[in-house]
Chains A and B, each alone.
Chain A
Amino acid sequence: MRARSAAVRKGSNLFALGCSALAALIGLAFLIWIIAEVFYRGIGAINWDFFTKLPAPPGEEGGGLANAILGTMIITALATVLGVSLGVLAGTYLGEFRHTKIADVVRFLSNIFVSAPSIVIGIFVYAVLVVPLGNFSGLAGAISLAIIMLPVITRTTEEMLRLVPTGLRESALALGAPYWHMVWHVVYRSARTGMMTGIILAVARVSGETAPLLFTALNSPYWPTGLLEPMANLTVTIFNYAMSPYEDWQIKAWGGSLIITVIVLLMNIGTRTLVHRMGRSKSGEGH
């Protein structure tokens, strides 16, 4: 290391610390700016009609996005059922039989899969579901979201199962419990909070996804009538409305953005307090 005077070193240290604090402030400032903007522009669109009425025809004022809100709920719920059941099982395999060759390969690939471009997953589902069925459909949208959820759930389930002490498993097995019984009543039970957190965060993530729905669920100005038809959803509606020339639609897009942001942030903050509370009550019990 070059010899430098104490004053220079102290000065450069202060400078570096200043930059670092500034970076953190910039990060925080953008968060506040983005959220403030969403609230400021979106709040004007929120009224009773917004939640209860169908969209108005292009260029006309009024109407709401009730069908899109309902559609997003249906698609997300279906995706959650599919993604969670498969993801928890696969995560259980990685967590319980962690040293097998297959577990290593699946772990590596699902870590990559987590960040795979979601629009490519949309193309895949378009090719295997939309083309053969001859129709854009809510079902295809739900399946593409489930595929996005799958590796996320798998990973968090594995991580949470790894935290369960081996001693617990061994005592259950020593008492004569069959393996599945031990996993179901001991491992899952002690990893419950963590698994729930992972699931809620995954739901929050896919409920804001847009790209994979563009060519699967498409969008619709009507109420959802069946899973095999194009289904209205909030995120694609936001995209279409934002790109439209009608000011009323652009305001509606901000209203939709506000709803999605609030739901996603609430889910995130909710899981944090859940984890916090569980952590406290556990340490209170003296585990």
Chain B
Amino acid sequence: MRSSGQVSSSSQWRDTLFKASTLGSAIFILCLLAFMVLVLIIYAWPSITKFGLKFLISLEWNPVAGEFGALTTIVGTLVSAALAIIIAVPLAVGVAFFLTEMAPLPLRPIFSTAIELLAAVPSIIYGMWGLFTLAPIMGDYIEPWLEEHFGFIPLFSGPPMGIGMLTAGIVLAIMILPFISSVLRDVFKMTPQVLKESAYGLGATTSEVLWHVVIPYGRRGVVGGVFLGLGRALGETMAVTFVIGNAHELSWSLFAPANTIASTLANEFTEASDDLYLSALVELGLVLFLITFIVLGIAEWWLKKSAPKGKGA
């Protein structure tokens, strides 16, 4: 309005300013990420130089003696995320398939909304629910039952306490289920109708269409969605901190309390009394950042490669 009647020099100046500020903000995101990694490395430096690569393979975590090794928490992070994926992925395939192929048309938006609301619930609520509701049920019913029937496997032996690795895996699974489901739903929707109808025309049943047409067609998207869920599970803090039991121990038993990188940070960061302790915790954070960055990078790259295929159809 103001500029339209004016000479072009002032509006050109505004144009330059506008473009520069959008470019500046975009570059700011890049710098922020780079700065973040740099700051983490600087803070972790005393620990990196003192322990070297031993940090990654040592089981010792003893703040009093000044000995720090990350293996327990790295294993805990990977195992809890793996458990979550094992539980959540089959469920997510079922949910996505139900949403795209099976649910009666009028009900689809309702189910979709419900699953997406599950994704919106803050993680601390999952933690509360996990600690006060799920953990007692796990300790009183599910873990004793598992031990009775599968106790010969080391994974399912040991005292059932309710809080521990298995409960953390289940809470994480419920948390990432909606993320994976909604990616899979979008991927399944990308399958061209013609392909599905050809298969149906040849006499394929609904589940055969899923296995032989929909999933192979969206293969990359499916893998990308799973990695996206994995990335979430690896970095999740609150839901895990509430229920994992926070013990720096490695155990074969899934019932035993354990620790993840994120839960260790949440519990110990404000208590870190000396510089080396703080530095070791920051190095843990750096390790977590790198792990999730790699996993999410793979997911992003994979999903991006799968996208043009859908647009071309």
Contact = CB atoms under 8 A, between A and B. Distances in A.
B51 interface: no
Contact of B36 (A13, A121, A208): A121
Contacts of A96: 22
Nearest to A201: B120
Given A24-B95, A27-B95, A264-B120, A124 B40 contact: yes
B276 interface: no
A115 B23 contact: no
B237 interface: yes
Interface string B268-300: 011000000000011001101100110011001
Contacts of A117: 234-237, 262, 285, 288-289, 292
A127 B111 contact: no
B98 A102 contact: no
B177 A27 contact: yes
Contacts of A269: 113, 117
B190 interface: no
A170 to B, nearest CB: 16
Contacts of A24: 94-95, 98-99, 103, 111
Contact of B40 (A15, A109, A120): A120
Contact of B207 (A12, A90, A211, A264): A12
Interface stretch (A54-62, A220-228, A234-242): A234-242
Interface stretch (B68-76, B127-135, B143-151, B152-160): B127-135
B238 A210 contact: yes
Contacts of B64: none
A264 B39 contact: no
B131 to A, nearest CB: 7
Interface of B: 1, 3-4, 8, 11-12, 14-15, 17-19, 21-30, 32-33, 35-36, 39-40, 42-43, 90-95, 97-99, 102-103, 111, 113-118, 120-129, 131-133, 174, 177-178, 181, 205-208, 210, 212, 228, 231-232, 234-238, 241-242, 262, 265-266, 269-270, 281-282, 285-286, 288-289, 292-293, 296-297, 300, 304
Contacts of A86: 25, 28
A261 interface: yes
A118 B132 contact: no
Contacts of A22: 94
Contacts of A16: 206-207, 210
Given A16-B210, A27-B181, A34-B121, A113 B14 contact: no
A15 B126 CA distance: 31
Interface stretch (A146-154, A191-199, A277-285): A146-154
Q: Is the interface of B mostly helix, strand, loop or mixed?
A: helix
B181 A37 contact: no
B36 to A, nearest CB: 5
Contact of B18 (A102, A110, A147, A183): A183
Interface of A: 1, 9-10, 12-13, 15-17, 19-24, 26-28, 30-31, 33-35, 37-38, 41, 86-87, 89-90, 92-94, 96-97, 102-103, 105-106, 108-113, 115-121, 123-124, 126-128, 147, 150-151, 154, 176-181, 183, 185, 201, 204-205, 207-211, 214-215, 218, 235, 238-239, 242, 250, 253-254, 257, 260-261, 264-265, 268-269, 272
A102 B27 contact: yes
Q: Is the interface of A mostly helix, strand, loop or mixed?
A: helix
A185 B103 CA distance: 42
Contacts of B133: 33, 37
A93 B25 CA distance: 8
A18 to B, nearest CB: 10
B125 A38 contact: yes
